Each structure stands twice: as structure tokens, then as C-alpha cells.
Structure 1
Amino acid sequence: MGWQRRGMKFLNPLRRTNPRRVALIAALLVPLGLLHAFVLAEICIAATDILFLAVMVREQNFAWARQGWFVLALLWWGWLMVCSLPLPGIGLVTAGWTLGFLQAFVVIRLLLFAVALQSWVLTTEAARRTLWVALALSCLWIGVESWQQYLTGHNVFGDPRWADGALTGPFFKPRAGAVYGHLLFVALLPPVMWLYGRGRNWQRLAGVGLAVLGVATSVLIGQRMPTADVVLGLVLVAMFVAQLRRVALVALVVGGLVLAATPVISPPTYGKLVGETYRNLSHFTLSPYGELYTRGITMGLASPWHGWGYNGFRVYCPQPRFATGFPALGIVPTEIGRGACNLHPHNYYVQAFTDAGAPGLSLFILLGLTWLMGAFPAGSRRHEAVSVGVFIGIATFLWPFGSTDEFPALYMLGWFFLLLGLGLPALARRGEGGETLVILPRRETFSPQGAGAVALIVHRFARALPGSVVLGRACLGAFDDVAFVPVRGGFGMLRAIWRLRPAVIEVHQSARLALFLALVCRGSRVLIVLHNEPASLRGLKSRFGRWVTLHGVDCVVCVSDYVRGRFMEGLRGPEAAVLHNPLSLEALPPRAAVRERVVLFVGRVNAEKGADSFVAACALALGRMPGWSARMMGGHWYGPDSPQTPFVARIRAEAAGVGVEFAGARPHGEVLAAMARAAIVVVPSRWAEPFGLTALEAMASGAALITTRQGGLREVAGEAARYFAVGNTAALAQAMVDLALDASAREALAAAGLIRAKQFNTPVLAARLRGLRTGRERLNPATNEANGILEHG
């Protein structure tokens, strides 16, 4: 590692300054550069990239590079560079090394700039607010200069309107409309939402007036596509911000009235927005844009796998072989005289197709969707107005029907990557701050009446760890003492994750879901908690599946050393952690001073849980236990809707035949109350219990426990239980008789169980879970001493 230490010496100057502050200043200068000095913008972007990479190398922090959107961006960029290689010998006909490959290579600077803003420069609220101010001032500057040019005929630099009548704002060329349209909602939404949310009428009117002024300015600038962007933005405002729907409608109506009045107040604007739009749409395929799109699609179809490389459209578009059109669709051959060729095809998606073929277009579409999903607004409250505005700005760049500049030409796309860095969720230090999202298995019900073992465990931990949000299927009467988000289907789950943007995602049971979220939610620490035998879970049945899970998520947590051992069979590398299931001792029903002479079975009624063994043992034992009775509580599944299976029906009949009361499935609170009264609880599991929560509840309730040594049961009960061998019904019956007739032995076993249960108290284990969630603690498998274990059979 000596070479690494020597290499790090070059980064020592970074330790004596604040590179993040320097990068923030550089990022704040980028809007000024995009407005009036492209060289300044390039220098600031390069400085931000270099500082970011240097600090990340120094800190050995590369989590930012594993984000889903950045991985997709690298794939798209890499394919674009491959397609831009001038290697005609293998069929790659491109624009050359300089105009094609080199131009494609430098695209990486903008991708790095966006990820630097997202994951390093803008991770504090103050930094994000400062960049918002810079963007808002840029939008205000364009608006003010547009009005000055409209009212006086010239902007501050003495430039008049463009020849076609469009206002140029502070620019020499007609660029004001596009930049203004993309930034308008970023700048406008926060003050409009603040004013409109105030109580006084004049403040609400001021908010409406500000929105109307912003839309009217866009109309007067007089550029077709930016005006369409503003209309799209108003629609999105109405979708995401319920309290501003009336404002959006008023702004849309007033904007239409301004457009209707332009023949009088601004004839050039009318000619541009109405006259040219009508002419282009009435014969779209013969318009310059129709010609460009037809020529671009023709070029892409001529080389569908790798296109023509970056700038290939510019170089090869004039060739006659691409002028065929699509006669079968009624699209006539294109002509350069009608505008069929330009520097680029004026649509990002057509350009992606001509530059890199169908694979490049597919990757670009996926990348765009990933950007939109990442920037999806988390809500419509006032403090989230910037998020909604930035999402609208990104959407107006990416919607597929727009006429666009070249991707990624700096003078327009520089704004896009600024918005992207501001809009994507900040990649905070993983596991620090933010909420923890706990995802239940699909079948679990998060309610007191229907909760299974996993839901109960999640509820206990959520109560002990503030900031936990539980996500599960919608149900009636959900637990009301912790945050719960009901969802339906995979889309609902993803939408909830995008809205919450949790620092930690804790998935229970589903390894495939955990791996998927670890891939797409790179800003979150992802844990998978295994409650069952790994071989019974999808995605973990093979050694390869377990290896992928172990290395694909941040931490694998097992509820017992037994489950951990089964998971790690044949694997090397990082160890899975062990975190036992908790029990909130203070929430248990009070223990009866005088225990009922009842032998109680609690659990699901199936062969694996040994329900038939319990009935058979009772048939042998109850006659030798005068004054004692037996009872069964459980069904095929948890909750009142547990189905009546043939096995349950058989056990019910056999229990009645030997004098065992069969209570069926009961609410969990009623089960705990019964345990608190019963003298003996039997857990006769045949299968390898992953943990043995029922055994733990029995010990904590003060009952004497009889159980098997299967799976994690011995790990849970230790020396505080009477054990019998699986299948030995006579041994189980003898253990029941011995404890029923020996009060001192029964009370000693119950006392040992109470002491043992304290090790599993929720506050104790919650502290360990907090360490696992943050990555600060690694739980080693607990060692359970088996000294003094009593066995029969």
C-alpha cells in the first residue's frame, strides 16, 4: 500500500483548504457563465469535477459511482464513444477522431458535474438554497431584460429583437425563451406558493399576479417551444400542487388572453407563435422540423446498431441516400432546401438514435426515466416547492415532443445539469440522518388483529427507534403508534420510496427486492433481514444467489445464529450479522400470581409446528395429571381470517376426542394473556425454527417451557427449557407430567425463563439494530451455553 500513501501526498493541499466551499463557489458562477461567458462556465465545471474526484479519491468514497442513474449514464456514454470511433474497417463510419470521438469523450464532464453537485456540493440545505437563488436571479434577469427590450426596443447591451420578432432578453441571439421556460417554475413556485399560502387576500392576489406575470413574459418573448414548455409546466403544477391548481388555471387563461391580444400589443409575437406554428403543423412533414426528424430517423434505420457516432448527423446528413423519406407512410423524400439538414436533428431522442443506434436510444430513454424518477417531487408542501419546480424544469428538457438543441451543447444543457444536480436526492453519508424505511413481506398484515411474527417484530423495533417508517400492504386497523405507509403493488412501493428518500431501507425476507433497491437506491443503505431458512426464500436457494445477496446489499441480518450458519454455508467473505428477535417486556400482560393448571400450545396448526404431536402427548398425559387441562391456540395462519384446512379440521376433531380445548386462531394480545396465566407452554416444533419467538414469549410470560432443539429454539431458550427429541411423543408426555406434578421444578424453570428473556428485551436489541442500520456495529453470532439443559428421550 506504499504507492497509495505516496499518491495521497499529492492531495495533501486539499487538507489545508475547504474544497467543498471552493466547488460551491465555482458552481454558483456557472449560471453567470452560461448567461454571458461560456469559458467561465467551462472553467467552473472543470474545477468542480477535479475537486470532487480528488476529494473522493482521498476519502476512498465511491458510493456516488454506484448510483443507478450514474451507472446508466456511464453505459450510455461508453456506448456513444464506441459508436464514435472512426474505424470503417469494422463498419464504424463516424465524424472522425476530433469532431466525433473527442466530442463524445468530453461529455463525461457534465455527468461528473451533476453527480458532484448531487452527492457532494449540494448535500446541505444552505448550499441548495444558495444555488436556487442563483438560478432564480438568472430567470429574473432574463425576464427583466425581455421586458426592457419589449418596452424600449433594445436590451441593456443595445441589442434589438431578433429578425423574426422574438425577444432575445439579455442575449444577442434568440436564446431567452428556452432558458426562461426551463427556469421559470424553479424560480417562480417558491414565492408563489409562499404568497398564496398566506392568509390575507392581497398576499394571495400577489401570488396569482406573480404567476400571471411569469407566464405572460414567456408569451411575449415569442418562441414556440418555450411557450409549449410553460404550458406543460402549468399542467404539472396542477398535478403536483393541489393548492395551486386555480392559480395554474388563471395563469393559463391569462396567458391565452395575452396571446390573443398579441396582434395589437406585439404583432411580431403573434406572427411567430400563431402564424408560424399554424404553417408548420398544417404541413408538418414538409416543415423544417419534419424534414429534420425524417432525415434523422432514416439515418438511424440505415445503421440501427451503432448509428453514425457523435456529430455523425452533421457530417453525413447531406448524403442523397438519406433523402428517401417514407413513401409507405405518405412522407415524401426530404430536401435540403426545405431544411432537412442542420448541425443536429433538433430532438434529443432522434439524435440518440442517429448517434448510437437503437442501443444508444434505449439507454438514453432509460437514463431519462431514471432522472425523472430520481427528481420526482416528494410532495407539495411549501418547503418542497423547489423540488417540484426543479422536476418541472427537468421534465421540460426531457419530454420527447420538444424541439431541442444538441445534446449536450453547453449553452442549454449546462442549465439541465445544474437542475439535475439540484433535483436528484442528495447522496448523504449513508446511514446518517433521514428516515429508515422498513418494508414488510407481501403477505404480512400490519395490524394488531392480523399481525404475524415478522410484523410484530417490525412493530416493536419501530416503536423503539424513532424515524422508522413501515411500508406494507393496505389493511384495516393498522398499528397507530408508528408511522405506516400502506401501498398496493410494486409501483406504489417505488413511489413511496421516491417520496421518502430514506437514508436506510430495511427489507424483510425478500432478497430479490433488497438487491433491486440496492441497485437503484444508491443513496440509501440497504439491509435484508432473514427470518426463515434461506433455502425456503426466493433468490437464496442456491449458493450463487446467497453470494450475490451477501455482496449486493450493505448488510445481511439473520434472526439467529442457526439462520446465519445456513446462509453462510459454502460462502466466504463478509459475515452475515445476527440480531435476535425482540420482545417488549414492559408491554406484556401482567403475569398471574397463581398460574392456571393449563398446558398450552400456541402456534400455527400444521405438522411442522408439531400440533399433532401435542394432541398425541395430551392423550397419554392428561389422565396422569389430575386437575390439569390442555388448550390449543392457533390456526393455519395468523388472524381471524385463517382458513380451515383439512389438517386443522383433523386436529380440531382429535383434540376434542382427548379433551383438549381448541380455541383456533386468536388475536396476538389474547394469546399473550393466555401465556401469562398458563403454567406450562409447549412448543413441539418438528421443523428447524429460524428463531422461536413463541418460546421466547412463553418464557417472558412466566410459563415453564417444553420444546425441541430444532433450529434456533435451543439458541433462544438456553438452559431455561425442558427439551424432548422430535417425534418422541412419550418423552413429551412425560415432560408434561413431570412439570405438572413437581411445582418446585416448574417454578424454577419459569424463573430461569424470565431471566433468559431479559436478554431479548426490545431496548437492548434496538440499540444493536441502530448500529447495523448506520453501519457502525457488526453483530457477531451470539454464543449460547447449553450447560444444564434438561432433556428427555
Structure 2
Amino acid sequence: MRAVIHAITPGDHFSPRTGSAIPSVVHGLAGAAGRDADPVRHAVVIDRATMRPRYDSAEVIEFDRARWLTKRDRALDLVRGRVGLRRHGTEAFYAPLVDALREQPPAFVLAHNAPVIPWMLRDSPHHVVLYAHNHLFRTYSHGEASRMLARVAAVVCVGDELAERTRAALPPGFAERVHVVRNGIDTERFRPGSGPSAPRYGAGDSRPAGGRPLRVMFVGRVIPEKGPDVLVRAAGLLPPGSIEAVIVGSQGFARDAPLSRYEQELRRLARESSAVVRFEPFVDRDRLPELLRSADVLVVPSTWNEPGALTAGEGMASGLPVVSSRVGGLPDIVGEAGILVPPGDPAALAEALRALEDPAERARRAEASRARAVARDWNWAWGNLRRVLEGL
């Protein structure tokens, strides 16, 4: 089988110092491929200036990134695309990455969230696969999509719901090229603990009186689409002292970055709430398993059609009951092990958390979570991807 080369967005970090989703997926797939009975070489093409240390699961191919796209560049490309012209700004941004790919022997090139790469490699000996983690064709006409994907070997989507939307957005004749490969779960790094333990939050953060409350955790980028405000509002609907909401993350990938307007508003909501709400700014991948093991419940309250949330699976692998929004790919990820609630509905989320105050119900959900995670680990995901690639 040909080698696999992953092309991720220029500037994205193939490093455990961030929680960036696509590099985490690449690391999971590459690690599983290396453990396979018939190993397949994986490499990743990355900007030379990105963070170190890098994951050691894939060979690193470096390039020097072009200048960042400006808002004006993006706006001009959007107009060009709508009138049937090439998106010159995007092509210039990806040109150094594509040049690095051209220097490699023929391989399966997995272009993560980058429809421009199949077009730019249309005359190369590589088998190019568009790997879709989100809906990528909202701004593409059928004509432009046909041109960009004319030579694409396959389109891989991380969930059924995303695959359906992708097929609907593509011209007739492309549907048979769309495949589903769900994200795997790191069940080695993320494992159940021996029991909840209180992390240190700093001076002045006292525990609520009357026994230990249910510790309910959100992990992810603190942006409106991820819905942490829904958890804060839900916590305020429950009896004081019954739960402790912990918001882990920041808008970006830096603990010391200034708070965004949304993060400031979230803290205002917390101050005005009757609930106990803690904030833990961004943590890297190495600290995340311990934090998850300190929780009783993980909440994934996304308000957008999230196709393949890694955090939900990692919470399940950690042996946590998971409450998630009924949107995007989340129902498929958590399955019957989790509790699904309507997006943006604090009352429904509060009711689900109230049910999980029962220790027996938590234990049942926790056991089901771990079992589902183990059945969907990265070895399973790589096996599914390998079958797609071998069929091309």
C-alpha cells in the first residue's frame, strides 16, 4: 500500500501543546497505522515555524509558510469563486505546502479541510483524498466544486450527517466518491480514574458546604458555537450547591491570552449565577486526561452541527457519563451511552444533570461510555480508513 501523507492547514500545530482537532486526528490515525500488523508509513506536511515538540507518530515534512490570508484576500476569493474564477489568494497560501507534496514519491495525500489541494495536485501522481471535518462547500457552486474535485480520488467525511450534507452540496456523479470514516478515540491516554478528585483552582476557591457537589465539566474552545454559556445557565437552574460547573478552555490555544468579549460575558453570567462555576484556561493535551478524570459528568453543549467532536469520545474513554446536544455527529458519537438534549436549551440540560445526581445512573452511563469508546478506538478508525484507501 502507498504511504499516506497528511496535509493540514498551514500554520496548524502538529503538537501535543495544543488541542487542535485535525492534528489530533492525524496523530491518532498515524499511531494506529504504525501499530498495524502491516504498518503503513504516515507523514504530515507542516509549517516549519509551528510549535514543538511534535507528535512522533508521523514523519514530518516541513515547508516555509506563505503570508497569512487577510480578510480582503478571503473576500476577494469568495467573489472569484461565485463568478467561476480561481481563488488565487487561497492557492497562493497553499502553494508552499503543495510544492512540498510534489517532491514526495506517489502517495495517498489526505487533504484535511482543503478542497484547493485536489485541484492544485490535479496533474500529480498522488491519489488525493479530500478529508472533510466540517461542511466545506457552503460557498461553492456546483461548477466550482466539479472543477476543484475533478481528479479527487475520494471524499472522506468524519460522520454520516456530514456525509449527507456533503453529498447534497456536490454535483450529481460525486456521491459515490463520498465515504464515512468516523474519528477514533484515544482509549490509552484517556482512561477512567479511581474516583473523583478535586483539582486546585487557586486561593479563595472554597468547596461548597453540605457535601461534594456533582462536578460537571465542559472542555473545548470557549466560543459561542461550543455552548459553554448553556452549561452556565443550566447550572443556575439547579439547587445551589448541587453541582460545580468547570469550564476548561479558552477562545484560542493560550492560557494567558486576553479574554474575548464572549469569555468576559461568560464570567459575568457565572458571577450572577447561584451556581458554583470554575474556570480553567486552556490546557495542553498532556494535562487533559487528569482533568477529565476529576469530573463526574462531561457536557458537550454545542449549538452548531458539530460533525466529529473528539472531546465527547475522550470523556467517554475517561469513564464519564456524557450529556451532549442532539446536533451534527454528536448523537452518533455518544450513542445510547450518552444523554442527548436539544441545543441551546439550558432547562433540558439541567434536567439531564438532575438525573445524573443518582450514583447508580452515573455508574451505568459511565460503564456504557467506556465500552463504546473502546469499541471505537483509533485502531478501529484506521482500519476503516485503510479499507477506503485500498479500494481506490
Residue 565 of structure 1 aligns with an amino acid whose one-letter code is E
In the other structure, the counterpart of 2:192 is 591
In the other structure, the counterpart of 1:717 is 334
Measure how far apart 1:578 and its partner are: 0.2
1:569 counterpart SS class: helix
Equivalent residue for 1:738, pick from 355, 358, 373: 355
1:582 aligns with 2:187: no
What CA distance in whole angstroms lies between the structure 2 residues aligned with 1:643 and 1:772?
Answer: 44
In the other structure, the counterpart of 1:559 is 158
In the other structure, the counterpart of 1:749 is 365
1:654 aligns with 2:253: no
In the other structure, the counterpart of 1:507 is 111
Alpha carbons of structure 1 residues 497 and 551: separation in structure 2 relative to 1, 3 Å: closer
What CA distance in whole angstroms lies between the structure 2 residues aligned with 1:641 and 1:583?
Answer: 29
Measure how far apart 1:656 and its partner are: 4.1
* Pairing of 1:259-408 with structure 2 (within 5 A): none
Per-residue deviation, residues 350-382 of structure 1 (Å, max 9, x unmatched): xxxxxxxxxxxxxxxxxxxxxxxxxxxxxxxxx
Measure how far apart 1:594 and its partner are: 1.7
1:668 counterpart SS class: coil
Measure how far apart 1:639 and its partner are: 4.3
1:483 aligns with 2:59: yes
What CA distance in whole angstroms lies between the structure 1 residues aligned with 2:328 and 2:153?
Answer: 26
2:216 counterpart SS class: strand
Alpha carbons of structure 1 residues 745 and 543: separation in structure 2 relative to 1, 3 Å: farther
Per-residue deviation, residues 263-290 of structure 1 (Å, max 9, x unmatched): xxxxxxxxxxxxxxxxxxxxxxxxxxxx
Equivalent residue for 1:572, pick from 164, 172, 175: 172
1:441 aligns with 2:9: yes
Q: Is the 8 A contact 2:245 2:277 kept in 1?
A: yes
Per-residue deviation, residues 506-534 of structure 1 (Å, max 9, x unmatched): 110010122211x131x111111000123
2:5 counterpart SS class: strand
Alpha carbons of structure 1 residues 524 and 774: separation in structure 2 relative to 1, 3 Å: farther
Per-residue deviation, residues 97-125 of structure 1 (Å, max 9, x unmatched): xxxxxxxxxxxxxxxxxxxxxxxxxxxxx
Measure how far apart 1:766 and its partner are: 0.9
Measure how far apart 1:764 and its partner are: 1.4
Superposed CA RMSD in Å reads: 2.1
What CA distance in whole angstroms lies between the structure 2 residues aligned with 1:675 and 1:709?
Answer: 22
Measure how far apart 1:635 and its partner are: 1.1
In the other structure, the counterpart of 2:385 is 769
Per-residue deviation, residues 559-582 of structure 1 (Å, max 9, x unmatched): 001110000116432240000011
Alpha carbons of structure 1 residues 450 and 656: separation in structure 2 relative to 1, 3 Å: same
1:568 counterpart SS class: helix
Residue 165 of structure 2 aligns with an amino acid whose one-letter code is R
What CA distance in whole angstroms lies between the structure 1 residues aligned with 2:365 and 2:147?
Answer: 43
What CA distance in whole angstroms lies between the structure 2 residues aligned with 1:651 and 1:509?
Answer: 30
Per-residue deviation, residues 747-771 of structure 1 (Å, max 9, x unmatched): 1111111121123211111122222
Equivalent residue for 1:470, pick from 39, 44, 49: 44
Residue 662 of structure 1 aligns with an amino acid whose one-letter code is F
Residue 192 of structure 2 aligns with an amino acid whose one-letter code is R
Measure how far apart 1:657 and its partner are: 4.1
Q: Is the 8 A contact 1:655 1:662 kept in 2?
A: no
What CA distance in whole angstroms lies between the structure 2 residues aligned with 1:622 and 1:479?
Answer: 45
Q: Is the 8 A contact 1:583 1:760 kept in 2?
A: yes
Q: Is the 8 A contact 2:301 2:344 kept in 1?
A: no
Q: Is the 8 A contact 1:683 1:707 kept in 2?
A: yes
2:389 counterpart SS class: helix
1:636 aligns with 2:251: yes
1:457 aligns with 2:57: no
1:612 counterpart SS class: helix
What CA distance in whole angstroms lies between the structure 1 residues aligned with 2:141 and 2:13?
Answer: 29
Identity of aligned residues (%): 27
Residue 576 of structure 1 aligns with an amino acid whose one-letter code is V
What CA distance in whole angstroms lies between the structure 1 residues aligned with 2:364 and 2:151?
Answer: 47
What CA distance in whole angstroms lies between the structure 1 residues aligned with 2:345 and 2:257?
Answer: 29
What CA distance in whole angstroms lies between the structure 2 residues aligned with 1:473 and 1:643?
Answer: 25
Measure how far apart 1:700 and its partner are: 1.1
* Pairing of 1:62-101 with structure 2 (within 5 A): none
Per-residue deviation, residues 224-267 of structure 1 (Å, max 9, x unmatched): xxxxxxxxxxxxxxxxxxxxxxxxxxxxxxxxxxxxxxxxxxxx
What CA distance in whole angstroms lies between the structure 2 residues aligned with 1:643 and 1:774?
Answer: 47
What CA distance in whole angstroms lies between the structure 2 residues aligned with 1:595 and 1:547?
Answer: 52
Q: Is the 8 A contact 1:507 1:513 kept in 2?
A: yes
* Pairing of 1:490-569 with structure 2 (within 5 A): 490-517=94-121, 519-521=122-124, 523-535=125-137, 541-569=140-168
What CA distance in whole angstroms lies between the structure 1 residues aligned with 2:363 and 2:127?
Answer: 46
Q: Is the 8 A contact 1:530 1:558 kept in 2?
A: yes
Q: Is the 8 A contact 1:634 1:665 kept in 2?
A: yes
Measure how far apart 1:457 and its partner are: 0.5
In the other structure, the counterpart of 1:696 is 313
What CA distance in whole angstroms lies between the structure 1 residues aligned with 2:289 and 2:279?
Answer: 16
Residue 595 of structure 1 aligns with an amino acid whose one-letter code is P
Measure how far apart 1:591 and its partner are: 1.8
* Normalised TM-score (structure 1): 0.40
Residue 674 of structure 1 aligns with an amino acid whose one-letter code is L
Q: Is the 8 A contact 2:10 2:97 kept in 1?
A: no
1:564 counterpart SS class: helix
Residue 676 of structure 1 aligns with an amino acid whose one-letter code is R
| 565-574 vs 693-702, greater mean Cα deviation | 565-574
* Pairing of 1:8-87 with structure 2 (within 5 A): none
What CA distance in whole angstroms lies between the structure 2 residues aligned with 1:709 and 1:452?
Answer: 23
Per-residue deviation, residues 298-347 of structure 1 (Å, max 9, x unmatched): xxxxxxxxxxxxxxxxxxxxxxxxxxxxxxxxxxxxxxxxxxxxxxxxxx
What CA distance in whole angstroms lies between the structure 2 residues aligned with 1:656 and 1:744?
Answer: 32
In the other structure, the counterpart of 1:180 is none
What CA distance in whole angstroms lies between the structure 1 residues aligned with 2:60 and 2:127?
Answer: 20
Measure how far apart 1:480 and its partner are: 4.4
1:605 counterpart SS class: coil
Q: Is the 8 A contact 1:636 1:643 kept in 2?
A: no
What CA distance in whole angstroms lies between the structure 2 residues aligned with 1:600 and 1:704?
Answer: 11
Structure 1 residues without counterparts, runs of 5 or longer: 1-431, 777-793
Q: Is the 8 A contact 1:637 1:643 kept in 2?
A: no
Measure how far apart 1:624 and its partner are: 6.0
Measure how far apart 1:478 and its partner are: 3.3
Measure how far apart 1:498 and its partner are: 3.2
Q: Which has the larger radius of gyration?
A: 1
Count of aligned pairs: 335
Measure how far apart 1:546 and its partner are: 3.8
Report which structure shows greater RCO (CA 8 Å, sep ≥6).
2
Alpha carbons of structure 1 residues 491 and 755: separation in structure 2 relative to 1, 3 Å: same
What CA distance in whole angstroms lies between the structure 1 residues aligned with 2:100 and 2:111?
Answer: 14
Residue 603 of structure 1 aligns with an amino acid whose one-letter code is G
Per-residue deviation, residues 472-514 of structure 1 (Å, max 9, x unmatched): 1232313241311232234542442233224211110010122
Measure how far apart 1:641 and its partner are: 6.5
What CA distance in whole angstroms lies between the structure 2 residues aligned with 1:529 and 1:498?
Answer: 19
Q: Is the 8 A contact 2:306 2:327 kept in 1?
A: yes
Q: Between Structure 1 and Structure 2, which shows a larger proportion of strand residues? A: 2
Measure how far apart 1:453 and its partner are: 0.6
* Pairing of 1:97-116 with structure 2 (within 5 A): none
* Pairing of 1:188-199 with structure 2 (within 5 A): none
Structure 2 residues without counterparts, runs of 5 or longer: 34-39, 66-93, 198-213
1:645 aligns with 2:221: no
Alpha carbons of structure 1 residues 445 and 595: separation in structure 2 relative to 1, 3 Å: same
Measure how far apart 1:642 and its partner are: 5.2
In the other structure, the counterpart of 1:205 is none
Measure how far apart 1:733 and its partner are: 1.2
Per-residue deviation, residues 419-447 of structure 1 (Å, max 9, x unmatched): xxxxxxxxxxxxx34x3211111242111
What CA distance in whole angstroms lies between the structure 2 residues aligned with 1:751 and 1:634?
Answer: 26
Q: Is the 8 A contact 2:6 2:112 kept in 1?
A: yes
Residue 7 of structure 2 aligns with an amino acid whose one-letter code is I
Measure how far apart 1:648 and its partner are: 1.3
Measure how far apart 1:643 and its partner are: 5.3
